[in-house]
Structure 1
């Protein structure tokens, strides 16, 4: 049973990423999935910083630096003074960034509808609850890890 859970999760994530990449490419969006996720973070987190993105996407500083450099060069984001923290910069979408974000939202909506077709709302709610619990199980220290502290 445990092996089938792992395979099901790997299969779902792989299929989702493939569908997202195919849809973005077909829409003329030539960005890596990580870049797309960063654009989503910047759009949703007020006064978003590089650290916010690193924490949300579970990436290290060098990966974030490369990602942000790409998005800056492509004029999807800008860096501004952070309003409350002088030690970091606030990342914001440019007009071009907002335009691509609107396309990404459409693609996300289409993929969600496609992925969830023929599945009852109650089943989706149950899946989300189970997935969140599994995630919590994997990110919380286990009893044996706690004993090592």
Structure 2
């Protein structure tokens, strides 16, 4: 039997070529494990739906237009997401008192429950990811990742 030559999922010899690929792989693992909790739970929430819930959890009373400005996402896509979340009872809406054309959105009790589950799972996964690392190693990792981010921001 021939030995498999799988180079796709291995870090290249040159770290300059593989750092972002590895970060992408780690983020894929993180998201997969985080959203498995929601897929297997009573709400079956997608990645984009969780982002919408998170936004309104951090910005209660914001509007769909606020979300569109913040994310740059297509308004029609966001309208469908928000409608679906409202239909499932995860988002609640109330007409804006000064402009009845706008709806102010907040998390419902069920939406807050989903948000808490996401936050708890994020904390568990963060702890799992740095398991076995000394505090100094964790600080060094954060410093290096911030350096990558700053390099890309420049």
Any gaps of 5 or more consecutive residues in structure 2?
1-14
SS in 2 for 1:47: coil
Deviations 1:73-125 (A, max 9, x none): 10110122346766632210112212222222222222222122123344444
Indicate the residue corresponding to 1:147 in structure 2.
none
1:34 pairs with 2:39? no
Pick aligned residue for 1:91 from 96, 101, 105: 105
2:36 paired residue among 8, 11, 22: 22
**Higher alpha-carbon Rg:** 2
Normalization by structure 2: what TM-score? 0.72
Alignment root-mean-square deviation, CA: 2.7
Once residues 84 and 12 of structure 1 are traced to their aligned partners in structure 2, the CA distance between those partners, rounded to angstroms, is 45
Q: Does 1:105 align with 2:119?
A: yes
Structure 2 counterpart SS, 1:31 = coil
Q: Is the 8 A contact 2:96 2:104 kept in 1?
A: yes
Counterpart residue number, 2:90: 76
More helix by share: 1
TM-score (norm 1): 0.74
More moved, 22-31 vs 89-98: 22-31
**Is contact 1:78–1:92 with CA below 8 Å preserved after alignment?**
yes
Counterpart residue number, 1:9: 23
**How many pairs does the alignment contain?**
140
Maintained 8 Å contact 1:49/1:89: yes
Deviation at 1:58, TM superposition (A): 4.5
| Cα drift, residue 135 of structure 1 | 3.8
Aligned-residue offset at 1:32: 0.3
Per-residue CA distance 1:40-77 (angstroms, 9 max, x = gap): 11111142222343354452212211111110110110
Query: Residue 11 of structure 2 aligns with which residue?
Result: none
Map of 1:66 onto structure 2: 80
- 2 CA distance for matches of 1:121 and 1:56? 34
How far, CA to CA, are the matches of 2:64 and 2:85 in structure 1?
12
